[in-house]
């Protein structure tokens, strides 16, 4: 995974929007973002490592989704736009890319800057509950992703606004990164 600050130029969300300013692992950790690269191998040992991470973080369920024009049909454009709205979740978001590539953009709280995380197959990303973020495919327009869940599979996005700024999960998140 490669992380960098996004440029502020308008244009297709699937383009790199690379400012040229890299973001360190330490900075990502300071805002609660964790990542691993667990290469996909033919023997399937990557599954054991992903499940180890899931167990460490108390995740009991997972599913696999495909985001592409072929997989989503007429819903494709609507889904892509909804993923790109700035939002937060009340649970951690854990994603492991099995195929393809895409971007998770995370909001750096102190500066309100976007940090773009370009992920490809083998990358595992953990976003803390309460962090503002969004997702976009890149120019390849396809990704197959394992989503991990603490309980039953669910995905509830709370789009950014006054209600999310006042959400207890958001407040706890901000306190956790300001204290560090």
Binding residues for Fe(2+): 87, 89, 93, 133
Of 142, 108, 104, 140, the residue nearest 125 (C-alpha): 104
Cα of first residue to Cα of last residue in the chain, in angstroms, is 24
Residue 115's nearest CA partner among 123, 124, 127, 97 is: 127
* DSSP helix/strand/coil, 23: coil
Annotated binding site for Ni(2+): 87, 89, 93, 133
Please give the Cα distance from 160 to 55 (Å, whole number): 30
Within the chain, what is the greatest distance between any pair of CA atoms? 48
Q: Dihedral, CA atoms, 117, 121, 124, 130, nearest 10 degrees?
A: 50
Which residues are annotated as part of the binding site? 87, 89, 93, 133
């Amino acid at each position: 995974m490669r992380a960098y600050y996004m440029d502020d130029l308008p244009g297709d969300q699937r383009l790199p929007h690379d400012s040229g300013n890299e973001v360190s692992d330490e900075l990502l950790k300071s805002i609660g973002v964790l990542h691993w690269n667990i290469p996909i191998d033919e023997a399937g040992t990557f599954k054991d490592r992903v499940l180890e991470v899931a167990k460490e973080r108390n995740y009991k369920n997972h599913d696999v989704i495909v985001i592409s024009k072929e997989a989503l049909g007429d819903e494709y454009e609507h889904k892509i736009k909804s993923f790109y709205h700035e939002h937060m979740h009340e649970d951690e978001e854990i994603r492991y890319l099995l195929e393809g590539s895409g971007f998770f953009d995370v909001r750096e709280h102190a500066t309100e800057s976007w940090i773009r995380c370009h992920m490809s197959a083998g990358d595992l990303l953990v976003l803390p509950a309460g962090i503002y973020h969004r997702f976009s495919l890149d120019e390849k327009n396809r990704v197959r992703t394992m989503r991990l869940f603490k309980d039953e599979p669910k995905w509830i996005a709370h789009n950014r606004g006054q209600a999310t700024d006042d959400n207890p999960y958001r407040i706890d998140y901000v306190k956790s990164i300001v204290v560090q």
